[in-house]
Amino acid sequence: MENYFAPALSRDELLSISSIGLAHMGDAVFELLVRTWLCTHGGATGKGMHRAAIQMVCAESQAQKAERILPLLSDDERAVFRRGRNAHVHTVPNHASRAQYGEATALEALFGWLYLRGERDRINELFCKMMEEEDHAS
């Protein structure tokens, strides 16, 4: 691969990446989307944006947002989501239940998988759906 900024991995290449690896990638993708969303919605200081980002990327929030998009997922996306939810994580943060952490890991795995496939439009579509309530609140 020569373009690490815009990867487009094959099915076989994606299958060789663990669920935890996909979630690791998806964590960064989700964080970038949240930071972009916060910047474009304005009104917060740097410290305020940092606090808001932390609140939006925590496992509880991600699990809640994941529920909004589950009905929209294709069969392949649902399979990746399930694979992420069933990943063997060794530690769960004190503030999240194991179920919430599993849903958050699943969401991150899905976003990592979509990103590595080069499906930016699909990521954006799902992210916008997840953020609808926040759009109405701001």
Which one from 27, 75, 76, 121 is the annotated catalytic residue?
27
51/126 Cα distance (integer angstroms): 23
Tokens of 115: 């990103």
Please confirm, yes or no, whether 27 is among the known catalytic residues. Answer: yes
Sequence-ordered list of residues with C-beta below 8 angstroms from that of 92, at least 6 positions apart, any chain: 59, 98, 101
Sequence-ordered list of residues with C-beta below 8 angstroms from that of 78, at least 6 positions apart, any chain: 70
**Closest to 115 measured CA to CA, from 77, 70, 63:** 77
Assess contact for 26 and 57: CB atoms under 8 A: no
Assess contact for 27 and 84: CB atoms under 8 A: no
- What residues are labeled active site? 27
